[in-house]
Amino acid sequence: MSDLPLIQADHAVASPAPTSPSRGGRGRRLRLLSRTDRVVITLMVLVPLLLVVGLVWLPALATVALSGTDWDGIGPLSEIDWVGGRNYADVVGNYPPFVPAMQHNLLWLAALFVVATPLGMFLAVLLDKEIRGSRFYQTALYLPVVLSLALIGFVWQLIYSRDQGLLNAVLGGQTDWYGDPHVNIWAVLVAAGWRHVGYIMLLYLAGLKGVDPSLREAASVDGASETSTFFRVVFPVMRPINIIVLVVTVIESLRAFDLVWVINKGRNGLELISALVTQNVVGEASRIGFGSALATIMLAISLVFITIYLAVVMREGRR
């Protein structure tokens, strides 16, 4: 899989820079375009841009703005009162599900980061060796990736269900794996990890295929063992993929939603920030300002990691 544009783009982007001076610079080339061409270019960018700004970025800004108000979603916008940081104070100090939700999101991250992601990487390293049947193993591992998370919630119910589930039938217990607030988060994490491992394995496998084989040869000529070659040579070379995998893991655990929502709408042991936001808007209580404060917290955390991600992929693209 050498056709990874992430890596391919390196030289491609660099190429215009040395050639453009000889052609008289950007300004002149633009002026060479006809009026129709300029209209076409503007439309080609403007239409998609309006859609993304209008349906993603403006709502994101509006969420931040609304988080400082007491709007209940009913009255006209002119009646909104500015309440400053009160919603945030309420979220942190006066909203029992908030702390468990934060803990669950962090636990989600920890489980994916400490167990599922390394397992996915490990399997990718094993599958990167030329072994017979590699395709079968790969297919089996990333099959869950094509299923929706909502569907995964259903599939695992067949294993977790108290009266009809496989787990209790085999273990002879009476645990309600999805219903018991002390165990359900763990049950859900197994299902989420099941999908995540395959996804990471795939990303990492693609990254490994892009590693220059001469590096490994050089290491083996120097007498390095396979393990030390991996940790000292291959792993550091894969820095961009490592960071992408890290960011994917963080964002995935922050955006976790579908699985808990199909089980019990994120209550009773399965609180997550995303579920709390949703409950506050489409649920019985329409607490716009309060829900927006929760949403803004989500936005703030994700933007940190999105920035890291963009910095990495754009730098890779420019080099």
Partner 1 sequence: MSTSTTTRPQASGPASKPAPRRPPLRPARVVLHLFLGTVAVGWLFPILWAVLTSLRSYAYTAANGYVSLGGWTFDNYVTAWRTAEFGKHFLNSVYITVPAVLLTLFLASCVAFVIARFSWKLNIVLLGLFTAANLLPQQALLIPLFRIFTQVPLPEFMSDSELLYDSYWGLILVNVAFQCGFCVFVLSNYMKALPRDLYEAAMVDGASIWRQYWQVTMPLCRPALAALATLEVTWIYNEFFWATVLMRTGDKFPVTSSLNNLRGEFFTDNNLVSAGSVLVAIPTLVIFFLLQKQFVKGLTLGASKG
Kindly write out the interface string for residues 115-154 of this chain, putting x where it contacts partner 1 by CB under 8 A and - elsewhere.
--------x--xx-x-xxx--xx-xxxxxxxxxxxxx--x
Between 185 and 247, name the residue whose CB sits nearer to partner 1: 247
The radius of gyration computed from the CA coordinates of the chain, to the nearest angstrom, equals 25
Sign of CA dihedral 13, 15, 21, 23: negative
Q: How many residues bind partner 1 (CB under 8 A)?
A: 118
CB of 118 to partner 1, least distance (A): 14
Residues facing residue 69 across a β-bridge: 82
The least distance separating partner 1 from the CB of residue 203, rounded to whole angstroms, comes to 5
Instruction: Output 114 or 171, the one with its CB closest to partner 1.
Output: 171
Q: Which stretch binds partner 1 (CB under 8 A): 3-11, 95-103, 174-182, 228-236?
A: 3-11
Restricting to residues 179-238, which ones interact with partner 1 according to CB under 8 A?
194, 197-199, 202-203, 205-207
Of these, 120, 193, 269, 291, which contacts partner 1 (CB under 8 A)?
291
* Nearest distance in Å: CB 23, partner 1: 9
Q: What Å distances lie between residue 161 and 107, 171, 174, 184, 192, CA to CA? A: 23, 13, 10, 11, 17
Q: Is 97 helix (H, G, I), strand (E, B) or coil?
A: coil
Between CA 279 and CA 291 the distance in angstroms is 8
* Binding flag, residue 285, partner 1 (CB under 8 A): no
Residue 164 as a binder of partner 1 (CB under 8 A): the answer is yes
Question: Which residue, 34 or 78, has its beta carbon nearer to partner 1?
Answer: 34
Residue of the chain from 22, 36, 174, 227 that contacts partner 1 (CB under 8 A): 36
Applying CB under 8 A, among 108, 177, 178, 261 the residue interacting with partner 1 is 261
Would you say 233 or 276 has its CB closer to partner 1? 276
Region 64-123 residues binding partner 1, contact defined as CB under 8 A:
66, 73, 123
Half-sphere exposure of 73 (CA within 13 A, CB side): 14
Which residues, 6+ apart, have CB-to-CB distance to 309 below 8 Å?
243, 244, 247
Can you tell me the distance from the alpha carbon of 44 to that of 36, in angstroms, rounded to the nearest whole number?
12
What gap in Å lies between CA 123 and CA 137, rounded to an integer? 9
CA-closest candidate to residue 64, choices 298, 305, 279:
298
- Give least dist CB 124 to partner 1, A: 11
- Smallest gap, in angstroms, from Cβ of residue 197 to partner 1? 8
The percent of the chain in helix, strand and coil, each rounded to the nearest 5, is 75, 0, 25
> Using CB under 8 A, which of 18, 22, 28, 55 touches partner 1?
55
